[in-house]
Amino acid sequence: LCEELGLGRTPVREALVLLQQQGLVSTVPQSGTYVSKIDMRACEDARFARECLERQVVIECCAKATKADIAGIDAIIAQQEKAVVAADELAFFESDNLMHETFFIIADRAPLWDWLNMGNVHYERFRWLAVLTSGVEWDVVMDQHHKIRDAIAAHDTNEASYLTSRHLRKAHIDYHPISVSHPEYFTEG
């Protein structure tokens, strides 16, 4: 790595320590450092925590969202629609995360989003692998995003909470086919 990156041993070692702390690599003494497998237990725990918190966050969005906030969500949805037209999965993935982060910002819970992301590594890796394996169900996801946006704009707390839960449970449903397609990437933790 030092040769390949043109760096000294210290910055490479420090980077590997950070990656290990994030659960992205594991070090085996006298053998080497390896990319860690996706921990399915950690993945499901992160999805569960996000679902529980985000349901409450969208309820708070319903109470706090201004016209400007709804316009911000609309702008993100417009970014997503451009990504759909371009079949740009990475841009869509990033704008999807931005939309969910925006809910936390509107609810004045941005630190919670940051906290979730600290324990979210396996979930995010799984989500990206799912995109690479199965693609994005553009129509389904966009329909769900539009409905969540409309429920927040209508200040319909029950509908917003229900739709958010349904939307975030989709990853739970996808576990089996993805893990069967790529068993070498997973551990049960």
Domains and CATH numbers, the chain: 2-35 (no CATH), 38-187 (1.20.120.530)
Q: What is the pLDDT of residue 97?
A: 94
Low-confidence ranges of the chain (pLDDT < 50): none
Distance CA 177, CA 183 (A): 10
**What does the pLDDT read at residue 95?**
95
Q: Which pLDDT belongs to residue 187?
A: 84
Would the pTM count as exceeding 0.75?
yes
Provide the phi-psi class of 36: left if phi over 0, else alpha when psi is between -120 and 50, else beta. beta
Beta carbons of 55 and 112 less than 8 angstroms apart: no
Model pLDDT, residue 178: 84
pLDDT at 176: 78
Q: Are 57 and 130 in contact (CB under 8 A)?
A: no
Interatomic CA distance for residues 139 and 143, integer angstroms: 6
pLDDT digits (tens, 9 = 90+) for 136-160: 888 999 999 999 999 999 999 999 9
| Cα gap 124→130, rounded to integer Å | 10
- As a whole number, the mean pLDDT across the chain is 91
pLDDT for 42-68, tens place per residue?
888 999 999 999 999 999 999 999 999
Question: Would you give the DSSP letter of residue 108?
Answer: T
